Chains A and B, each alone.
Chain A
Amino acid sequence: MTLGGTPPEQVQRRRAARRARGGVALGISTIWLSLIVLLPLAAVVAKSTQADFWAVVSAPRTIAAFELTIGMSLAVAAINAAFGTLIAWVLVRDRFFGRGVIDTLVDLPFALPTIVAGLTLLSLYGTTSPVGIDIAFSRWAILLALLFVTLPFVIRSVQPVLIELDPEMEEAAASLGAGPAESFLRVVLPNLLPAIVSGAALAFARAVGEFGSIVLISGNIPRRTEVVSVLAYNQIESDAPQSAAAISVVLLALSVLVLLAIRRLAPRGATA
């Protein structure tokens, strides 16, 4: 029964129009996404079949590159999980002069080109180091570069959760006899864990594919300091795109898996 409102057919038509608008937007996005992202990635997968996939992927040099890359990325994820949480804690709970500036600068690795990051790290910790630390062309250089580019991930993931955390939970823990350390371990940390893990996973995904910051500083010595992205780059330059594609497919699969895992852990739009 309508009480002098919009007649039912008109409501139906408007609803259909809205759905149709949703449809047009969806159509445009799908076309754009397919053209820019999916098509090229499909080409990589297709090209990889032209290579002797197994031979390329199991070559000692390739395996060494993957071991190095994955190992480094896991280490970086772990270090970030610890230090990122610490820094997030200090930025949210502590008050000191310059806190706001530091908070802003945490995003610098997001804004700075990776090649510049590599150069800055090289200048301080390389052959011309003013503090006498020279780690150029070593695995430490890779670790350092990856730590730099992944710095913001865990911090930015944990900060909002920490800010939203009910301070009364910690007061309740104190009233029940828990000291600061125990209160952190039993009450705060469990609530931060999803954010820490998803931040660390993002750091990992970023680290496995990193190129620009590593290429200057690591020396790219095959089987010692050559990461997967550099190896693939060399294959492209050596006019062996099939091998590059094969290696890329493995890297791609790894990154996509991590991406899916992150979405499971911290679905966007859901609050803790």
Chain B
Amino acid sequence: MIAATALTKRFGDFLVLDDVSIEVPDGSLVALLGPSGSGKSTLLRIIAGLETPDSGAVLIGGADVTHVTPQKRGIGFVFQHYAAFKHMSVRDNVGFGLKIRRERKDVIRARVDELLEVVGLTGWADRYPGQLSGGQRQRMALARALAVQPKVLLLDEPFGALDANVRQELRDWLRRLHDEVHVTTVLVTHDQEEAMAIADRIVVLERGRIQQVGPPRELYDAPANAFVMKFLGPVSSLGSQLVRPHDLVLSSDAQPGAIEAQVARIVYLGFEVRVEAELASGGAVSVQLTKAEADELELAAGDIVHVRATATPAFSA
């Protein structure tokens, strides 16, 4: 398990982390989620030992590693831009950590072959990183990090440099890998969908402070503040309140508690329909309907409708 206690870090005048404490349970996959500048990468790098905190402590497996070099922390690290050793073959890349530990050549060879199979790069062993696609390079980087059997796997926006479809593929594949291998994993991302899709727990960071920690469902359904709500899913403002667009209901005739609005635009997104309307009390609102609901209402631009929230709106906008 990983525990970070009261970590503070400044870069010059800029306060990157402000008294941050987190816990990562053994064998879980935790996502550090936040916008750029939120401090999530710095937090990860401090856990890795690639940065040192100004104050606070890092414990891995109960041992205080705050002042231990990254070489000795037993971590595996995967970088956004792969950090491939471009002068070495895929095989030599993956076997690098084992070579440093002076393992026997046959042991290294066997382990590398095993890992290449796990990541689906068998047959590419003698190629060079320059000959691989981005997705393949990242899989190689993962194999390389896993080769030394780390206690902890740390990934810094690992899919950020990849195409959208490759990203999705690799993300799901990473979750399946985690389910098999069960290494304690911390993943940094700014993509809420990614975090929601694969993490057991999400730590939301903003401007160096933790906003909320919890499983994805909890963060979505019960956000602790407006920031978390806005970051983790779509929001609409009904007057001065924040509501999820799918918690809004439209009706043609007036209902108790409903606000009058005029339809400005109807966007057909296939299975869902987004209705953008101007509230009579001022401001715009975005309502999400299923195709069936939209068809039933037979809406057109210019129609007058009544908007009502079915869930209790949370937070002021």
Direct contact of A and B (CB under 8 A): yes
Chain A residues proximal to chain B, CB less than 8 Å: 166, 168-169, 171-179, 182, 186-187, 190-191
Residue B242 at the chain A interface, CB threshold 8 Å: no
Residue of A nearest to B50 (CB): A171
| Binding-face segment, B18-26, B31-39, B75-83, B197-205 | B75-83
> Can you offer 20 A-B residue contacts whose CB atoms are under 8 A?
A168-B79, A171-B77, A171-B79, A172-B77, A172-B144, A173-B85, A173-B96, A174-B69, A174-B70, A174-B71, A175-B48, A175-B76, A175-B77, A175-B145, A177-B72, A182-B100, A187-B85, A190-B87, A191-B86, A191-B87
- Please indicate the chain B residues that have their CB under 8 angstroms from the CB of A187 in the complex: 85
Residue of A nearest to B87 (CB): A190
How far, in Å, is A215 (CB) from chain B's closest CB? 43
Complex contact B87–A175 (CB within 8 A): no
Residue of A nearest to B70 (CB): A174
Chain B contacts with A in 97-138, Cβ cutoff 8 A: 97, 100-101
Known: A176-B97, A176-B148. 16 other contacts (CB 8 A): A166-B81, A166-B83, A168-B83, A171-B77, A171-B83, A172-B77, A172-B79, A172-B85, A172-B144, A173-B85, A173-B96, A174-B50, A175-B48, A177-B101, A179-B71, A182-B100
How many residue pairs at the A-B interface have CB separations less than 8 Å? Answer: 59
Docked CA distance A169–B108 (Å): 21
Docked CA distance A169–B88 (Å): 12
Complex contact A177–B71 (CB within 8 A): yes
Complex contact B100–A176 (CB within 8 A): yes
How far, in Å, is A182 (CB) from chain B's closest CB? 6
Main secondary structure of the interface of A (DSSP, over half): helix
Chain B residues proximal to chain A, CB less than 8 Å: 48-50, 69-72, 75-77, 79, 81, 83-88, 96-97, 100-101, 141, 144-145, 148
How far, in Å, is A249 (CB) from chain B's closest CB? 40
Docked CA distance A179–B101 (Å): 11
Docked CA distance A177–B75 (Å): 9
Docked CA distance A168–B76 (Å): 13
Complex contact B83–A176 (CB within 8 A): no
Residue of B nearest to A175 (CB): B77
Docked CA distance A225–B49 (Å): 56
- Please indicate the chain B residues that have their CB under 8 angstroms from the CB of A173 in the complex: 85, 96
Complex contact A175–B75 (CB within 8 A): yes
How far, in Å, is A195 (CB) from chain B's closest CB? 13
How far, in Å, is A65 (CB) from chain B's closest CB? 40
- Please indicate the chain B residues that have their CB under 8 angstroms from the CB of A177 in the complex: 71-72, 97, 100-101, 148
- Please indicate the chain B residues that have their CB under 8 angstroms from the CB of A182 in the complex: 100
Residue of B nearest to A272 (CB): B86
Residue of B nearest to A178 (CB): B100
- Please indicate the chain A residues that have their CB under 8 angstroms from the CB of B49 in the complex: 174
- Please indicate the chain A residues that have their CB under 8 angstroms from the CB of B72 in the complex: 177
How far, in Å, is B2 (CB) from chain A's closest CB? 15
Docked CA distance A168–B80 (Å): 10
- Please indicate the chain B residues that have their CB under 8 angstroms from the CB of A176 in the complex: 76, 96-97, 100, 144-145, 148
Docked CA distance A231–B146 (Å): 64
- Please indicate the chain B residues that have their CB under 8 angstroms from the CB of A191 in the complex: 86-87
How far, in Å, is B80 (CB) from chain A's closest CB? 8
How far, in Å, is A174 (CB) from chain B's closest CB? 5
- Please indicate the chain A residues that have their CB under 8 angstroms from the CB of B50 in the complex: 171, 174-175
Docked CA distance A110–B253 (Å): 87
- Please indicate the chain A residues that have their CB under 8 angstroms from the CB of B83 in the complex: 166, 168-169, 171-172
How far, in Å, is B176 (CB) from chain A's closest CB? 24
Docked CA distance A186–B79 (Å): 19
Docked CA distance A191–B86 (Å): 8
- Please indicate the chain A residues that have their CB under 8 angstroms from the CB of B96 in the complex: 173, 176, 178, 186
- Please indicate the chain A residues that have their CB under 8 angstroms from the CB of B148 in the complex: 176-177
Docked CA distance A175–B70 (Å): 5
Residue of A nearest to B73 (CB): A175
Docked CA distance A179–B77 (Å): 16
Docked CA distance A91–B88 (Å): 27
Docked CA distance A187–B88 (Å): 9
Q: Which of B49, B70, B88 has the most CB of A within 10 A?
A: B70
